[in-house]
Chains A and B, each alone.
Chain A
Amino acid sequence: MNYLEIFIGSILNHNIALAYILGMCPLIAISTNIKNAKGMGLAVVFVVTLTGIINYPIYVLLQRTNTTQLSLLVFIITIAATVQFLEMFLEKFIPKLYNAFGIFLPLITVNCVVLGVSLFFVNRSYNFFQTAAFSFGSSVGWMVAIILVAGVREKIKAHSDLPKGLAGKGIVFIVLGILSLAFIGFTGLASIQ
Chain B
Amino acid sequence: MKLIRLKYTKWYNISKDGLSKNNPIVVAVLGICSALAITNKVDNAIAMGIGVTFVIMASSATVSLIRRFIPSKVRMVTYMVIISSFVIAFQMFIDAFFPAIAAALGPYLGLIITNCIVMGRAEAFAVKNPVRYTLVDGFANGLGYMYVIVSISAVRELLAFGTILNYQILPDSFPTWTVMAIAPGGFFVLGLFIWLIRDVTKNYEFS
The residues of A with any CB-CB pair to B shorter than 8 Å are 18-25, 28, 69-70, 72-73, 76-77, 80, 109-112, 114-116, 119-120, 122-123, 157, 163-174, 176-178, 180-181, 184
Contact = CB atoms under 8 A, between A and B. Distances in A.
Contact of B32 (A25, A76, A77, A171): A25
A20 B105 CA distance: 12
Given A20-B37, A123-B106, A171-B191, A165 B204 contact: yes
B114 interface: yes
Given A25-B33, A112-B114, A115-B110, A73 B84 contact: yes
Contact of B88 (A70, A109, A181): A70
The 8 closest A-B pairs by CB, nearest first: A173-B191, A177-B187, A119-B107, A168-B205, A24-B32, A165-B198, A165-B199, A112-B114
A172 B37 CA distance: 16
Given A22-B37, A73-B88, A170 B194 contact: yes
Contact of B111 (A73, A112, A180): A112
Given A80-B77, A173-B194, A21 B114 contact: no
Query: Secondary structure at chain A's binding surface: helix, strand, loop or mixed?
Result: helix
A110 B114 contact: yes
B187 A180 contact: yes
B8 interface: no
A132 B43 CA distance: 34
Interface string B178-207: 010011111110110011101100001111
Given A22-B33, A69-B88, A76-B84, A167 B111 contact: no
B36 interface: yes
A119 B111 CA distance: 8
B54 to A, nearest CB: 15
A111 B182 CA distance: 22
Interface in B106-146: 106-107, 110-111, 113-116, 119
Main secondary structure of the interface of B (DSSP, over half): helix
Given A24-B33, A111-B114, A80 B80 contact: yes
B165 interface: no
A11 to B, nearest CB: 16
A25 to B, nearest CB: 5
Nearest to A176: B187
Contacts of A22: 33, 37, 111
Contacts of A24: 32-33, 36
30 contacts: A19-B183, A25-B32, A28-B32, A69-B92, A72-B91, A73-B85, A76-B80, A76-B84, A76-B113, A77-B77, A77-B81, A80-B80, A110-B114, A110-B116, A112-B115, A115-B111, A116-B111, A116-B114, A119-B110, A165-B196, A166-B194, A166-B198, A167-B205, A170-B205, A173-B188, A173-B191, A173-B194, A177-B188, A177-B191, A184-B182
B184 A180 contact: yes
A169 B32 CA distance: 12
Nearest to A25: B116
A14 B136 CA distance: 39
B199 A174 contact: no
A193 B129 CA distance: 47
